[in-house]
Structure 1
Amino acid sequence: MSSDIDFEDAGPNQAISVSELNQHLKAVVEGTFPPMWVAGEVSDVSRPRSGHLYFTLKDDDSQIRAVMWRSVASKLRFDLENGQSLLCFGGLEIYTVRGSYQIVVRKAEPRGVGALQVAFEKLKAKLNAEGLFSLERKQPLPSHPRRVGLITSPSGAAVHDFLVSARRRMLDAEIFVIPAQVQGPGAAETIERGLLAASMIRPKLDVVIVTRGGGSLEDLWTFNEERVVRAIASCPIPTVSAVGHEVDVTLSDLVADVRALTPTDAATRVFPDRGATVGRVTELESRMHRAMMQQTQQRKMLLASLSRHPALNKPMEMVHLRSRLLDELDQRAKQAIQRRLDHGKASVGKLAATLSALSPLSTLARGYSVTLNEAGQTIHDASTLSPGDQLRTIVEDGEIRSTVDEVKR
């Protein structure tokens, strides 16, 4: 249809179709209004399986339909929700099938807060809920690291600033620069690979530093990527994050074991001050020297005291003294043994006299005798005997055998 037709002079025979009218309107509207920013409140959000987003932008008096194609919706850094105040950039479009117009959104930001900031806060809350930022999981840095890994761009200012500061402080350490892209597409993957490579270096590194210079939120966004934050959290080596300037705070700063304000500050936190270390060593050397002198002096005094001891000064005198004491003890032992023997002899003589007085032999010596029957039993009662019994009579110097002829009671 030609755009120069005079609709006012056309008669009924020149009527146009609805499709032609909508096509004409589409050409006029889309050619008249350039892409623009439109502010409104989101409602009627629809998310079909195609991945496109359909919603309505409205204010207190009016509304307009909006569409965000999948190519744009997939890159959105926040969730689109009903009631959200939104800034949309796009162009007007006539949807000829229904004769309605809509805005095709090419870019969207929450009103009042940038999209990156919203994404930052959302991911921060998620990771914080998982405990990735808790102090309990953070590792302390070694006091004197000997092997340090630096993950950054080799051509950036950060590596220069770090090495200059480190050279003024460290005494003897190895620094391994692990190349990584710190900005733009694919940067997060290179940093993740750098952390994995750092954990595989042998001998093991003492500290790993992830760093880059300053920049805008967009420039530093790589260090807010979830894969980078999780890679730092899972690194078995103590980590330091030194991203941007002092005012910049990234999620990498929050998850790392230590946050440094700048690459230069990272060197001061990782390496002890050279002057302080040298002074400390000098002080320890002086203290050790004084302690050694004191110990030496004490040992000299102890040796002098020992040299005056009789055991070392007159060693044979103590031998003679002990020998004399041994002789005295031997004599006293002999005397004690003799006294015990004499006492024992007297006791035995006394007991022998007592036993002798009680012995039957003493009775026999006085003229008495003992009569026994054939069984060897002593005869106490004559009634136990009968004529013809054989008897044995024991006297002092022998034994008499006899036969019983008669028993008298």
Structure 2
Amino acid sequence: MHLKSMSRQTKSQWDFGELFPAETARRVLTVSELTTQVKRLLEKEVGLVWVTGEVTNLRAQSSGHMYFTLKDANAQLNCVLFRGEAVANREVLQDGQKLVVQGDLTVYEPRGQYQLLVRAVELQGVGALQLAFERLKRKLQAEGLFAPERKRPLPRYPQRIGLVTSPTGAAIRDVLHVIQRRNPSLEIIFVPCRMQGDGAAEEIAEATRLLNEFNARSSRRKEAPTSEPDVRRPTSEIDQSLLTSAATRLDLILITRGGGSLEDLWAFNEEAVARAIFESAVPVVSAVGHEIDFTISDFVADVRAATPSAAAEIITEGVFASRQFVAEATGWMAQRLRQWLEREREYLEQLIQRLARAHPRRRLNEKLQRLDDVQSSLLRDVKYRWRECQAVWRNAQQRLLRMRPGHTWVCYRQNLLELDHRLGEQLRHGLKNARSRFDTLEARLRLLSPTNVLERGYAITTDAATGKVIRDAAEVKAGQRLKTRLKKGEIRSVVEG
């Protein structure tokens, strides 16, 4: 035991461990692995984006894919629009065009460059109508027509309102439907007019002034109920009835119409309408188009509503808000439901985006892009090889011109004469053989000819009507007409029995 312990102690005295530390472990990535990580990072952190810039280097491949570059003053971005993408406005893709593009940011791994997979394309900039809109907006804003301090609040419980809209449009149906549902007792003074086209702006402005005159006369009637109204501007029977049948003042004026294009809504961007609204003594609510539509009348009016229905809801909000708690709870629950649906919709969109990034079509589009690159490289190689062949041909042609072709020409001429002589001999021999074969065939044909048979005393009998050859007496009938051909001439006969 003692010796064994000494041996263990001796070993431990010389056991110094590792004199040199092991090399620190490090992770080395390949170019493909690094590019893949960068691609995943870009797709996760950036993903779907909107980018604006100028189009350059537009290339439309025969496969239907389109490649271009978006650039600005300091940078540029490669973009790809695949043939299978349902993208509108493809025709606006032109060199020098300024666009707003939506797409997924990714990395094209074979080249190691990041690019945008285009999903939507829109034009950048404004048209002539938009420029006129901005010009008038700046002018009226400078004059104070849009000043917030001149905006008047709407009465919380209106009893009578003036309505300016088209009698046949969807806006009046929406407004009446909402008012009937929320405040059926609200009285409406309706002034019909056109909402678009030539003269529509003047009609809207005149209707606004007519309602203001109606309101002013109503006020004077309340102050002096026995006095007769001074009717100065009756333009129709409707105008006359408005001016003479007033009982109470107007609480507000609603000017509204449904959605449409910028041209359809242009009447509400006219200066005449804006100044009529500005001069109105009655608060004005403007509800033109949809939520995304903004007109000059919206800026001048005391209150702007997104839609005709929204305007009716604003007008009737006071009465509607005073209803029972159950009605409020119903609206609250509907709002919570919409919020829940919105969250679920956002979550669904995230799932759709994740699915799109993992979809096999993504890899197929990358392969198709790689195929386009290979095709372009192949075309460049073919063109390069063709230029080389042209250079070789020009060198050979120059070398041939430097040679003396006289001796070669004499040899070629002798060979040509010899070939001409041999060709003549072969042609004459061929004609002789052909004539001999023709004579032989002619003699054989003459022996087999029916005319030769007739010369030996035979005859050919046929049906006179059909020309059918009679080979058997049983084939003829009494009264049948026959024609018999001899060596010289024909004999016509009739069968007797």
Same structural fold, with TM-score higher than 0.5 when normalized by the shorter chain: no
TM-score range, shorter chain: 0.3 to 0.5
The structure having more radius of gyration, on CA atoms, is 1
TM-score normalised by structure 1 residue count: 0.40
